[in-house]
Structures are given as C-alpha cells and as structure tokens.
Structure 1
Amino acid sequence: MAAAGATVSVIMPAYNAAATIARSIDSVLAQTLGDLELIVIDDASTDATVALVERYASGDARVRLVRQPQNAGVAAARNAGMAVARGDYVAFLDSDDRWHPRKLEWQIGQMQQGGERVSYCAYQRVGEDDRVLSTVLPPTRLSHADMLRSNFIGNLTGAFARSLGAAEFLAIGHEDYVFWLQMVRRAGGAVRIESAEPLAYYLVREGSVSANKFRAAGWQWRIYREVERLSLARSLVYMLHYLWNALAKRR
C-alpha cells in the first residue's frame, strides 16, 4: 500500500550511540517509503556518534544532524527534532532500535486511507544477541481510557499527523507514555496498522533504566496522580491494569 506523496519526519535521539546507531539509521534509509527525512539529534555525545552520523548525512540528503549544546535528556532531544521537522507525519526511532523495511509505507498508507491521525503497530522485543524475547500485539484500536490501562503504543511504532498541532515530550519518567496519552486524547483515538508480521524491533538491554520494574511502577503512579490527575480510587484501578499488562508483554 503506497503512501501517495506523504513526507515523514523520523526523529532519532542519540547519546553515545556509536555501537548501535548504524543499524538503526540503515533501517530508516532502507524504508520502501523513500519520501522521508531522518533527523538525528545528538545529545552531546562524547564518542564517535557525531562523526558516524555526519558520514551518513554527507551521502544521503535525507539525513539531518542536530547537535544539542549540552546533554539534556531524551525528552529534550525529541522536542528539538520535532521543532525542525518538515514532514506531514512524525515517527520515532531510538538509536538502538530497528524497523521492518515496509513499516512506514504500510503505516502512512493506512493512515491516509482511513483518515487516522495516530497509529502504531506490533513489534518484537529482542535481546542484545538478536534473540526474540517476545512479540507485542497491541489492541486494534485505542481510546484514551484504553491507554490509561497500559502504554499500548511502543514509541518506536507510533506515528502521528502534524495536523494535530504542536506536541512535546515532558521530562518525566515514561515520557513516551505521557506523550502518546496526550496524542490519543487529542486525536480521539488511535489504530493499529494491519500487517502480517511485526514492523519494529525494540532492543532490551540488561540493566537499562526501563528494565527497573519498581522504578517504572513509581513513574506510572506519578503519571496517574500528577499528570492525569486521577482520583486515588481510579489510579489504583488503572495501576492494577498496568501491572497486569506489563507482565503480559513479557510472556
């Protein structure tokens, strides 16, 4: 399903990512939807990340490098990318994750066909040895209430139409979850892209911040109480849903 003349801005934050970013960039440049720009936001790396991205940019005009003056974190990096994005749609890919070659073609094509403004897809969680740990198949459609039960939109799978207006990530734990909560509410819902196989591959690192389950649960509680401003009773109900779905993702 071709995306007729659509332009997609792909936002990729990077910090000391020289060991992994080449595979991530390659998976973007290999997309069958060629009308895209890849905006790499270097968050003041101290390794060879900048030199590596500059080599890509010198060989492919679709690659743009934005350098942060100082390390400010992933939320600020993504916001810097969105501030200079020129596409009709925006998608995100971190510097250690990858996409299926037809991910954007299918995603943007189905969004255009159905008039959807937020979409997502199935993805695989893979280990550092490329072993598939699990496949995550989110619901076919999501409302804001559905999203309160769990973050069903993996950030590397989500895309939104810029017609929804300006958006930004907050510097808070689970910043991607807060972002998609806001976007789904604004769009009035979101849809899963139909595909015969997962379209993205999320790298699970041992000892990563997101792997700390107790810390992640604390972030989730704070989102319910301080960002969404839910009552104590509603927060407890949604927290139980969150814990159940978090376990389901790892089965």
Structure 2
Amino acid sequence: MKVSIVTPVYNAERFIHETAKSVMGQTYKDWEWILVDDCSSDSSWEILKELASNDPRIRVYKNNENLRSGKTRNFAIGAATGRFIAFLDSDDVWHENKLSIQIPFMVENGYFFSHTSYGYLNESGEKIKSTLHVSPIVDYIHLLKRTEISCLTAIYDAEMIGKFYMSEHARKQDYALWLSILKSGVKSYGLDIELAYYRQVSNSATSKKSQLILKHVSFLRDTQGFGTVKAWYYTLYWMVNGFIRYYLR
C-alpha cells in the first residue's frame, strides 16, 4: 500500500538533508516522495535533484513561478499515485517507524484519516518543549475549537475518500484541508505516539497576536462561510486552547 509523501520546498538547504534522512530511513518501504521546489534562491533544487538521482522513489519538480505552499502542495497531491497521502514540510522530521505504525493503525481499524502526537526541535535539531498529545477522535467541531492536527502528522486514504486539496486562501491552507475532510463526515483518529518532530525556526516576520486573531476570524469567514458572530465564537475557543497548548504544557 503505497504512501505518497508531499513536501513543498522553498530555500530549505539548511534542513532538507535531515528531513530526507528521516524519510529514507523509514522502516515502511512502500512510499514515494514528491518534492516541489517553489523557486528557491538557494541550493535546494540541486539538493533535490541529487536526492532523486539516488532513489527512484523520489520525484522532484520545480515551479515556474513562486506559488507558495498551498498551490505547491496541491500540485504534489495531483501527481501522487499512492493510496495514502502524507505531508511533511522540508524542515520537519519523522520518527523512523512513523509510517510502519500509522498505516497499519489506519488499515486495521478502517480509518480513512489520522494524525499523531509530535514533538518539537530547535534549529540545531535538539528537542525542546514537551510532546503535543492528540485526542483519540477529532471531528469538524472539535478541530474548529482546537487545531491539533499538524501537517507533519496527517495522513488520509485517497483511495477511500478521494483526493482532497489545499485551500486557495492566503494562509492556513493545511488547516482548511483538514476541515474540508472532516466536514465531509470523515473523522480523524489520533494516535497518541510521538512520531514526528516540528522544527521551530525563528521568523522575524511573525505577526502581532492581535493581527493573528483578526486573521483567524477572516479565515473562518472566508473558508467556512461563517458570519461574524460564529467566526468570533470559534476564534475565542481557538485562542484559549492555543494558550493552553503553547504556554501551559
């Protein structure tokens, strides 16, 4: 049962080798890795070509123009030939047993969508913070209140539910994708094992908290069709759970 791993790449030369090591070291061997370079200005494209030359399961593409992560992931989803679609960003890392644990978890239980707990790395690859533990079952309303499905842990069964694509919205395209799947009636089943590691990279362009809140309201209005009151209702839940998630763990 082939797994298609989707990775957008943009100026990833610092971390892509470590990410590649975690994919190529998977104990589950039936995978293809689709990497799409989004007009990087560093050596990312050369690194991708080298990776592909050393493993026929790796397929690499290059955008003609900078499309950003959502559209870049959508191209990779469209090119995917596997039964399962998995996501991994170019600076994150998987545990070597991620696929060999998560795929049987889905198949044996008849689950079409799943996610796992995950840890955190700093820019040097050292573990920081504590594990983010996930809930056993997540439905549409749950995810509106607590955004616990992370891109580096999510896998869906495209053979059973069809291919779902990223939103065209300017931000949170992955979150919009999870909401689309859940809104269709499919639930995501959480596997409370730390099987992936999210890298926190310093970003001088991070928005102020007040701007993030307003953008979240706008996101819910634009992608979910919520009115202002309903958008603020779920944004307040998102704010409280986000505070607990990041500061009280």
**Matched length:** 244
- Cα displacement (A) at 1:212: 5.1
1:153 aligned to 2:149?
yes
Query: Structure 2 regions of 5+ residues with no counterpart?
Result: none
1:96–1:203 CA contact under 8 A, matched in 2: yes
1:104 aligned to 2:99?
yes
1-structure distance, mates of 2:2, 2:206: 31
2-structure distance, mates of 1:81, 1:139: 28
Structure 1 partner of 2:50? 55
- Cα displacement (A) at 1:186: 2.2
- TM-score w.r.t. the length of structure 2 is 0.92
Structure 1 partner of 2:226? 230
Structure 2 partner of 1:167? 164
Q: Which moved more, 1:48-57 or 1:164-173?
A: 164-173
1:221–1:235 CA contact under 8 A, matched in 2: yes
1-structure distance, mates of 2:115, 2:151: 8
Alignment partner of 1:46 out of 31, 41, 50? 41
Alpha-carbon distance change, 56 to 71 in structure 1, aligned in 2, over 3 angstroms: same
Alpha-carbon distance change, 213 to 8 in structure 1, aligned in 2, over 3 angstroms: farther
Alpha-carbon distance change, 192 to 36 in structure 1, aligned in 2, over 3 angstroms: same
2-structure distance, mates of 1:231, 1:215: 19
2:135–2:192 CA contact under 8 A, matched in 1: no
Cα deviation per residue 1:107-165 (whole Å; 9 max; x = unaligned)? Answer: 11110011111100001122223241232112110111101112110111100010312
1:134–1:249 CA contact under 8 A, matched in 2: no
For residue 247 of structure 1, what is the amino acid of its counterpart? F
2-structure distance, mates of 1:103, 1:227: 31
1-structure distance, mates of 2:81, 2:17: 23
- Cα displacement (A) at 1:209: 5.3
Alpha-carbon distance change, 177 to 188 in structure 1, aligned in 2, over 3 angstroms: same
- TM-score w.r.t. the length of structure 1 is 0.92
Structure 2 partner of 1:66? 61
Alignment partner of 1:138 out of 130, 134, 137? 134
1:39–1:81 CA contact under 8 A, matched in 2: yes
For residue 43 of structure 2, what is the amino acid of its counterpart? A
- Cα displacement (A) at 1:218: 2.7
Structure 2 partner of 1:3? none
1:149–1:238 CA contact under 8 A, matched in 2: yes
1:118–1:187 CA contact under 8 A, matched in 2: no
2:146–2:237 CA contact under 8 A, matched in 1: yes
